[in-house]
């Protein structure tokens, strides 16, 4: 086995360490106590209709949801913080929207670097709005054969 290759195990170790870093380094608690809770949430894109972010948060809360997930990177931090306060609905996490265009499994190292930066930005933004998690889709079979992923 070649040790100079960036394999899946090494990627998962690195990703786990990076994911934990912002939470350990800053130690700030979110505005809403989510620890130890199992919440019924939905992704912001599932809230249909027009209106402000606050109005969409209120629609989700009125429908019985406990939290909402944002798309990261790309979160408007101030608007999202305002929506959580005005609606009473917390952001519990985000979905990383970066890997749909730049994947962590791309054969090109420059693309993988962009994917890592998108992941870091997404983690920072999610933490800034009180979220604890970020869903990451590592790659797609289009980039590499399944046995290499």
Mean pLDDT confidence for 40-62: 92
DSSP-based three-state secondary structure for 128? helix
Domains annotated on the chain, with CATH: 40-148 (3.20.20.150)
Mean pLDDT confidence for 65-74: 93
pLDDT tens profile 80-111: 999 999 999 999 999 988 666 778 878 889 98
CA–CA separation, 84 and 56 (whole Å)? 11
pLDDT tens profile 112-137: 899 899 999 999 999 999 998 999 87
Mean pLDDT confidence for 6-23: 59
Q: Which residue intervals of the chain are DSSP H helices?
A: 8-26, 53-62, 77-87, 109-128
Answering whether pTM is above 0.75, one says no
């Amino acid at each position: 086995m070649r040790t100079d290759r960036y394999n899946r195990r090494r990627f998962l170790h690195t990703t786990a360490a990076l994911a934990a870093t912002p939470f350990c380094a800053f130690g700030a608690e979110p505005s809403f106590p989510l620890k130890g809770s199992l919440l019924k949430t939905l992704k912001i894109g599932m809230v249909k209709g027009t209106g402000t972010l606050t109005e969409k948060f209120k629609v989700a809360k009125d429908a019985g949801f406990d939290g909402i997930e944002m798309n990261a990177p790309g979160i408007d931090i101030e608007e999202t913080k305002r929506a959580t306060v005005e609606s009473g609905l917390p952001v519990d996490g985000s979905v990383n929207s970066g890997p749909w265009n730049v994947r962590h499994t791309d054969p090109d190292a420059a693309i993988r670097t962009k994917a890592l930066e998108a992941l870091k930005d997404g983690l920072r933004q999610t933490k800034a709005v009180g979220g604890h998690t970020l869903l990451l889709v590592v790659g797609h079979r289009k980039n590499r054969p399944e046995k290499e992923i």
